[in-house]
């Protein structure tokens, strides 16, 4: 693509700010299209319409496209609704079906649910069937994570015609390799895919199961990750979640593109959620006022001698909270205050509830609260993100934007974006001990570690 070439890009995802958000993928899908549209591309987003997406609030209107498909042995009718991003000329299509999406207030049901498989199969097939009627023939179909990966299997088989004889390209972005959408092969019949075509070692077969993440990896023209380091890591045994071999087969087609941040949404100078707004010049006094407000909100004493450490996170194993569990007793005695906002695994929710109940310096809010998250990013002195692995990470980027020092584990996107305070030990300059079996120079690896390995 040359600089002046304008493309038609369809971004398919399960989350996008401001409509539905559970994690960083929503930030990316809500902001990247704006930037691409500003460069002159015609970008459109495709999402499911969950119950939390209120048709009136977002002025959803009907496109007139209605289709009936069979999923799970029953006919399902889908309609395509339409709106735009609130602050950009980006069309957003929403696939509407009451049984699989509309009646749920949450985005995900859980990987172990057959209905989870069925709803995202309906989403993928529905959008591909609807596409020709929407008069939008994308040059690039950008898919994100396993729930959208069935599209790749359809696009290489039953819906091949949508690729305009190979002129259109599939980009598949891995936001988190851990969630793969694995199911037994019977799901292929429900999906309407021919096992002889796709249930193969070079297709979506994985230890006798269907693995949609693997479909995305094997069938996309290009696979991207949300940081450079993660692109390297996932091709190793330690971070590959069993797919390192498959990823390595696609090695020349894997690119790490670091996540960016929407600087308008996350801007302390204009942020209405804060006690005191600030630019870099007046950050110090304003941050003190925000910190006082944050302490009041969490019922902590306003002691200037104690720095505040903020956490805003899904409370899951990935985020490294087992490390906090290990030092729970010591945390009570640390000369620090902790404010925690998150929800997720009951084990970690209980850990923080117990800590909050038994200490004077740790407070927690279990739940999802975007406005409060802004106040934590602004009011905390430090932001803690000890992730065991981190594909990209937006929390640390937001913290940096708000002048709050991130304390992170040097992995994935955290290693790419947080520079060690001792510049001689800059983590992002230190190459990962590489276990890749490269024979050619890598596009994403520092030249110091590219090349043949012994």
Interface ranges with ligand ADP (CB under 6 A): 23-25, 27, 312-314, 341-343, 368-370, 373, 392-395, 398
Collapsing DSSP to helix, strand or coil, 43 comes out as strand
- Residue number with CB closer to ligand ADP (129 or 145): 145
How far is 142 from 140, CA to CA, in rounded Å?
Answer: 6
Up-side HSE of residue 397: CA atoms within 13 Å toward CB? 21
Helices and strands, counts by H and E, the chain: 15, 17
Min CB(260)–ligand ADP separation in Å: 12
Min CB(266)–ligand ADP separation in Å: 8
Transcribe 401-435 into DSSP letters.
HTT-EEEE-S-HHHHHH---SSGGG-GGGSPPPP-
- Residue number with CB closer to ligand ADP (168 or 312): 312
Min CB(37)–ligand ADP separation in Å: 21
How far is 382 from 407, CA to CA, in rounded Å?
Answer: 7
- Residue number with CB closer to ligand ADP (220 or 340): 340
- Residue number with CB closer to ligand ADP (171 or 372): 372
How far is 46 from 147, CA to CA, in rounded Å?
Answer: 12
Min CB(236)–ligand ADP separation in Å: 20
**Are 328 and 355 within 8 A, CB to CB?**
yes
- Residue number with CB closer to ligand ADP (221 or 349): 349
Collapsing DSSP to helix, strand or coil, 73 comes out as coil
- Residue number with CB closer to ligand ADP (224 or 373): 373
**Are 220 and 170 within 8 A, CB to CB?**
yes
Min CB(115)–ligand ADP separation in Å: 23
- Residue number with CB closer to ligand ADP (23 or 102): 23
Cβ-based neighbours of 267, under 8 Å, separated by 6 or more: 401
Residues in the chain: 454
- Residue number with CB closer to ligand ADP (376 or 434): 376
**Are 45 and 37 within 8 A, CB to CB?**
no
- Residue number with CB closer to ligand ADP (369 or 420): 369
Beta strand 91-96 pairing with 74-84: antiparallel
State which residue has the least CB distance to ligand ADP. Answer: 24
- Residue number with CB closer to ligand ADP (23 or 446): 23
* Cα→Cα distances 220→39, 196, 204, 230, 448, Å: 24, 19, 12, 18, 29
CA 334 to chain CA mean position, Å: 33
Min CB(186)–ligand ADP separation in Å: 31
* Cα→Cα distances 281→222, 276, 287, Å: 42, 13, 11
Buried b (16+ CB within 10 A) or exposed e, 276-295: bbbeeeebeebbeebbbbbb
């Amino acid at each position: 693509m040359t600089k002046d070439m304008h493309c038609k890009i369809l971004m398919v995802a399960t989350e996008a700010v401001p409509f539905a958000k559970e994690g960083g993928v929503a930030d990316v899908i809500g902001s990247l299209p704006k930037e691409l549209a500003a460069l002159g591309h015609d970008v459109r987003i495709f999402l499911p319409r969950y119950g939390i997406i209120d048709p009136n609030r977002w002025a959803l209107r009907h496109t007139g496209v209605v289709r009936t498909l069979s999923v799970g042995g029953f006919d399902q009718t889908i309609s395509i609704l339409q709106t735009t991003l609130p602050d950009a000329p980006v069309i957003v299509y929403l696939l509407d079906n009451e049984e699989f999406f509309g009646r749920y207030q949450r985005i995900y049901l859980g990987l172990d649910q057959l209905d989870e498989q069925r709803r995202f199969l309906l989403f993928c097939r529905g959008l591909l069937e609807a596409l020709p009627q929407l008069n939008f023939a994308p040059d690039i179909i950008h898919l994100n994570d396993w729930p959208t990966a069935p599209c790749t299997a359809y696009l290489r088989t039953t819906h091949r015609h949508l690729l305009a004889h190979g002129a259109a390209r599939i980009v598949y972005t891995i936001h988190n390799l851990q969630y793969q959408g694995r199911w037994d092969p019977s799901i292929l019949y429900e999906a309407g895919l021919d096992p002889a075509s796709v249930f193969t070692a070079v297709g979506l077969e994985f230890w006798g199961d269907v693995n949609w993440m693997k479909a995305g990896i094997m069938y996309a023209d290009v696979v991207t990750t949300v940081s450079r380091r993660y692109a390297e890591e996932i091709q190793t045994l330690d971070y590959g979640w069993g797919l390192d071999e498959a990823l390595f087969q696609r090695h020349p087609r894997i690119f790490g593109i670091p996540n960016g941040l929407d600087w308008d949404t996350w801007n302390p100078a204009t942020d209405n959620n804060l006690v005191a707004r600030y630019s870099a010049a007046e950050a110090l006094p304003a941050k003190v006022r925000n910190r006082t407000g944050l302490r009041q909100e969490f019922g902590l004493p306003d002691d200037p001698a104690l720095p505040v450490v903020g956490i805003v996170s899904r409370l899951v194993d990935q985020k490294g909270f087992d490390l906090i569990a290990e030092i729970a007793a010591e945390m009570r005695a640390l000369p620090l205050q902790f404010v925690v906002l998150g929800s997720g695994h009951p084990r970690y929710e209980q850990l923080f509830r117990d800590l909050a109940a038994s200490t004077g310096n740790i407070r927690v809010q279990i739940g999802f609260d975007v406005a409060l998250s802004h106040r934590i990013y602004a009011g905390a002195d430090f932001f803690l993100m000890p992730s065991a692995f981190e594909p990209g990470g937006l929390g640390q980027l937001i913290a940096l934007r708000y002048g709050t020092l991130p304390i992170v584990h040097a992995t994935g996107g955290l290693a790419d974006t947080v520079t060690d305070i001792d510049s001689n030990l800059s983590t992002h300059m230190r190459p990962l001990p590489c276990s890749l079996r490269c024979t050619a120079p890598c596009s994403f690896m520092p030249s110091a570690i590219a090349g043949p390995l012994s």
